[in-house]
Amino acid sequence: MNKHSEPTRPADEQQVTLRSPAELADALPFLMGFHPSDSIVLVALHGDEGRFGGRLRLGIPRSVREWAPVSEQLAECLVEGSRRRGGRPDGIVAFLCQDPEDSDTGRGVRDRLHPLAQLIRTSFGRLDIPVHEVLCISDGRFWSYCCPDTRCCPPEGSPLALPGTSVMAAASAYAGIQVRGSLREMEARLEPWRGPADKAAKQERALDEAAGALVPRILGGGSREQVGESTLRAARGLMDRLAQTPPAPPRRQEPGRAGAGAGDGTDCGDDRLIGDDEAAAVIIGLQDREIRDRAAQWMEGPDAEPALRLWRALARRCVGSYAEHAVAPLTLAGWVAWSCGDEPAARVALGLALRLDPTYTFAQLLHQAFNEGLDPETLRRCMRTQHGATAGPRPRATRRPTAKQAKKAVKRAVRKAVIKKATTPAVPSPRTRPGTQAARARTAGRSGQRGTKSGK
């Protein structure tokens, strides 16, 4: 097969050349920063030696009927994203990652996803771009849909390399590239509690009480400023509490375990530091756009780490009928992670936010800026400008135009951004694309939900 190069350091210092399907399969977690699960991953190739460029990840649609339109959408999006970054792809490498369920096997997954692999190849073929390799990764093994040589790609599949034993792993460790675990484990840090039912029910009751007390004040207008100040004061107090308590050592989630803070000891420790009523008051307050935008200014310096821990903890507290209220803390978590240079964590948080609400403007804006390769410092400057303009006891009427001006400035920065490196083009999940039946139903039912969604 063709050689493909992944620079783990600047191109003039070090490059890793991948020569086989096995080396490609081993490289995937290092390309993404985590082990993608239940995912389609596409990687653009450039030049005669197949230099890796933009990469794109999307959850595998559960409905087979969605495979064809999703394949076409992915192909067009990756090509358009690469073109905006300065070069149409010369080839594609694709990965289909899904573990077997129930009595299924890895080979059964390979056979079931074979039509999807063919659709991906034909979608790029219509754009005159060859797909050099499509790999299925399942149950610790991989299969090639393109390589007919049974010596390197046997029908029973080939085992993945042991962690840390490949050339790519060694080069990535030398370059400081870290693999965070599986996508499922990263998402578990941000998803609502699935532990004891009484614990989640207690948190939901606290959210009911906070919504009943705060929503009329936010919507009424006269007390909105007071709600904003109290929300930010409470959030700052929780951040200070977290900052004074070092995070607990992280631990991997045990197979089959699902509970509060599952997957990371840090999360369990943070959850114990925050009361149900405290979390509920801040979650409801963050549903107001202006309050959320002011909270987004805790993005750098000593504020960044406790803010990120707080937004993750609040996202986990959005239980039961308050699941969509997690969009605000998830978006804030994605913003702070990106601002701090943690691209994999930012990608996962923003992806979950858009999965819950594909129309949430702040998440869309951040996702676009992130995927366009914009330096987060451009957005940080906008946030600092907005903070300076809104600081102090000014009337609400003077602050609203400033927020709009900041949003316009960010949009202009996104359009004019100079792409410094290849990143993933923005694609909404097929399960929550705007216009799908599920998205329309969620939008139609939002007016009857508890809580508030006063702006995006």
Question: pLDDT digit string (tens) for 240-275?
Answer: 999 998 876 655 444 333 333 344 566 888 899 999
pLDDT for residue 320 = 92
Vertex 65 angle, CA 61 and 66, to 5°: 40
> pLDDT digits over 374-419, tens only?
778 877 877 776 655 554 444 343 344 444 554 555 555 555 543 3
Taking the CA atoms of residue 24, residue 347, residue 121 and residue 53 in that order, the dihedral angle to the nearest 10 degrees is: -60
pLDDT for residue 439 = 38
Let me know: does 248 contact 266? Beta carbons within 8 Å.
yes
Looking at every residue in the chain, the average pLDDT score rounds to 77
| Two structure tokens written together for 19 | 């020569």
Residue type, 198: D
pLDDT for residue 324 = 95
Closest of 281, 266, 283 to residue 326, by C-alpha: 283
Q: What DSSP element (H or E) covers 409?
A: helix 396-416
Closest of 260, 256, 242 to residue 190, by C-alpha: 260
Percent of the residues in the chain that have a pLDDT greater than 90, as a whole number = 37
State the pLDDT confidence band at 29, using cuts at 50, 70 and 90: confident
Instruction: List, in sequence order, every residue forming a beta bridge with 97; answer none if it has no partner.
Output: 39, 137
d(CA 21, CA 164): 17
Report DSSP state, residue 58: E
Let me know: does 55 contact 67? Beta carbons within 8 Å.
no
> What average pLDDT does the segment 183-189 reach?
83
State the pLDDT confidence band at 286, using cuts at 50, 70 and 90: very high
8 versus 181: which is more confidently predicted? Answer: 181
Residue 436 pLDDT > 50: no
Report DSSP state, residue 182: B
Residue 336 pLDDT > 60: yes
> pLDDT digits over 130-183, tens only?
999 999 999 889 999 998 888 878 889 988 875 555 555 555 554 556 666 677
Q: How far is CA 444 from the centre of its chain?
A: 25
Residue 440 pLDDT > 50: no
7 versus 379: which is more confidently predicted? Answer: 379
Flag the least confident range among 69-78, 325-334, 364-373: 364-373
pLDDT for residue 419 = 36
What phi, psi does 18 have (nearest 5°)?
-105, 125
pLDDT for residue 368 = 76
State the pLDDT confidence band at 453, using cuts at 50, 70 and 90: very low
pLDDT for residue 1 = 46
pLDDT for residue 127 = 94
Specify burial of residue 221 (Cβ count, 10 A radius: 0-12, 13-18, 19+).
Answer: exposed
Residue 430 pLDDT > 90: no
- Total residues belonging to the chain: 456
Residue 330 pLDDT > 90: yes
CA distances from 87 to 80, 141, 167 (A): 9, 33, 28
257 C-beta neighbours (distance < 10 Å), count: 11
pLDDT for residue 417 = 46
Flag the least confident range among 14-18, 316-320, 424-428: 424-428
Residue 186 pLDDT > 60: yes
Closest of 285, 427, 296, 428 to residue 362, by C-alpha: 296
Closest of 334, 330, 305 to residue 317, by C-alpha: 330
Percent of the residues in the chain that have a pLDDT greater than 70, as a whole number = 70
> What average pLDDT does the segment 86-91 reach?
86
pLDDT for residue 248 = 66
Residue 96 pLDDT > 80: yes
pTM (whole model) above 0.75: no
CA distances from 302 to 143, 261, 267, 298, 394 (A): 46, 24, 19, 9, 27
